[in-house]
């Protein structure tokens, strides 16, 4: 055990020069190696741990944890399936919807949208980015998750009516690495209801080399507080859904979609009827000189659900959508798609015009006037519309 960054920096420089796909520290599936953890300022780097990594078009391969970090630094996208090898092997396709309805809850959606503000997101994101890093294996990553859990509870207490509060539960989904995912549920009113609508973001952040500072303002602090503001707006509006509506904040997205895979695996194993899942990952950046838009991802998503999101943008937002692609395993929607559930992903712009400061110390609120809280507000509107249109609205008793 070493309390120094020197070893980490040396290894980072040595390994970074080697392509992850041909690294000599690659270990064949089934080989073993004892754990060799390095602790640095509350950072469990787990250098010797073997992880089972799945990249597009390749069979799962065992890689040292540090080689996985190197792959992330090179922009290679992957699932870390070490703890979720059965994800996708259970038949959940019977839950897959063929089509989604056209938006028709105009009065309820517009009423809830009017309650939204940039004030809460600004205050919450300032606090969320004050943690040195929200890396999933760090002490501050755990602390940031605890703060987020307490903020969700505070908003619930402050804004939910007594009757609505009785429908709400907030739980931590535990993970072995310590930073837990958060699941907030508003119970639906249908007497035989088992359908769930999910709105999600990831709470963790990382630097290109994760032991360095990672404020993660846009990736994905912006998505985290955007859906938190949507939740607050629904509470103010006394939203009583017919279907169950859940808000998820995942841990470990930056390490291979770990948290969302664990949650999706649990839901799949229990045959939970998730009829729609929408991921919000990076919602703040408007590149200078470009038109303000909502990026609708069109690859590795459910086409019908993505088209439904386009309709919501047209009906309720003040800016248009643009189609874009993000590749294999690029955010938490991919975990749900792999499980056979309809999933979608919206982002701040096309990927070509998205924030290039992510995974660095410069992913901050104050780095540029291109970071926009009014742009984030459009995504809060989208999350509100998604919840109401698909969750239904029974109204208060």
Catalytic center residues: 202, 219, 253-254, 281, 359
Q: Could you tell me the two tokens for 374?
A: 């009014």
Non-local CB neighbours of 392 within 8 Å, separated by 6+ positions: 105, 188, 241, 242, 243
Non-local CB neighbours of 261 within 8 Å, separated by 6+ positions: 79, 80, 81, 83, 84, 87, 335, 338
Dist CA 395 CA 241 (whole Å):
8
3-state secondary structure 12-80: HHHHHCCCHHHCCCEECCCCCCCCCCCECCCEECCCCCEEEEECCCCCCEEEEHHHHHHHHHCCCCCEE
> How far does CA 273 lie from the centroid of its chain?
20
Dist CA 145 CA 134 (whole Å):
8
Q: Do you know the residue count of the chain?
A: 397
Segment (H or E) for 277? strand 273-280
Where do we find the tokens 């469990």? 44
Q: Find, among 85, 138, 387, 30, the residue nearest to 261 by Cα.
A: 85
Q: Could you tell me the two tokens for 192?
A: 């035989």
């Amino acid at each position: 055990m070493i309390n120094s960054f020197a070893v980490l920096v040396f290894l980072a420089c040595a390994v970074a020069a080697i392509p992850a796909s041909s690294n000599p520290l690659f270990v064949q599936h089934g080989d073993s190696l004892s754990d060799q953890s390095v602790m640095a300022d509350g950072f469990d780097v787990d250098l010797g741990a073997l992880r089972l990594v799945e990249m597009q078009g390749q069979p799962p391969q065992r890689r040292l944890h540090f080689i996985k970090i190197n792959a992330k630094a090179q922009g290679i996208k992957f699932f870390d399936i070490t703890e979720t090898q059965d994800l996708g092997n259970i038949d959940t396709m019977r839950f897959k919807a063929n089509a989604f309805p056209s938006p028709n809850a105009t009065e309820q959606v517009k009423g809830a949208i009017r309650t939204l503000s940039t004030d809460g997101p600004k205050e919450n994101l300032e606090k969320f980015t004050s943690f040195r890093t929200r890396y999933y294996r760090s002490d501050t990553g755990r602390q940031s998750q605890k703060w987020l859990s307490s903020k969700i509870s505070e908003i619930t207490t402050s804004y939910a009516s007594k009757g609505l509060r009785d429908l709400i539960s907030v739980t931590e989904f535990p993970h072995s690495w310590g930073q837990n995912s958060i699941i907030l549920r508003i119970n639906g009113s249908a007497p035989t209801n088992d359908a769930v609508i999910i709105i999600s973001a990831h709470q963790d952040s990382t630097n290109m080399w994760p032991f360095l500072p990672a404020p993660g303002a846009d990736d994905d602090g912006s998505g985290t507080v955007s859906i938190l503001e949507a939740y607050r707006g629904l509470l103010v509006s006394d939203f009583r859904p017919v279907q169950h509506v859940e808000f998820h904040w995942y841990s470990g997205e930056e390490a291979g979609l770990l948290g969302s895979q664990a949650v999706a695996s649990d839901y799949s194993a229990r045959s939970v009827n998730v009829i729609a899942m929408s991921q919000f990952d990076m919602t703040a950046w408007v590149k200078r000189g470009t038109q303000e838009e909502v990026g609708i991802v069109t690859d590795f998503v459910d086409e019908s659900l993505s088209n439904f999101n386009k309709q919501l943008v047209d009906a309720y937002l003040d800016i248009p959508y643009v189609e874009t692609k993000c590749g294999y395993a690029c955010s938490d929607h991919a975990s749900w798609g792999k499980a056979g559930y309809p999933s979608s992903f919206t982002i701040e712009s096309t990927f070509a015009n998205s924030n290039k400061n992510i995974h660095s110390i410069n992913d901050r609120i104050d780095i540029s006037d291109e970071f926009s809280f009014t742009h984030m507000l459009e995504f809060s509107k989208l999350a509100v519309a998604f919840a109401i249109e698909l969750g239904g609205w029974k109204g208060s008793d």
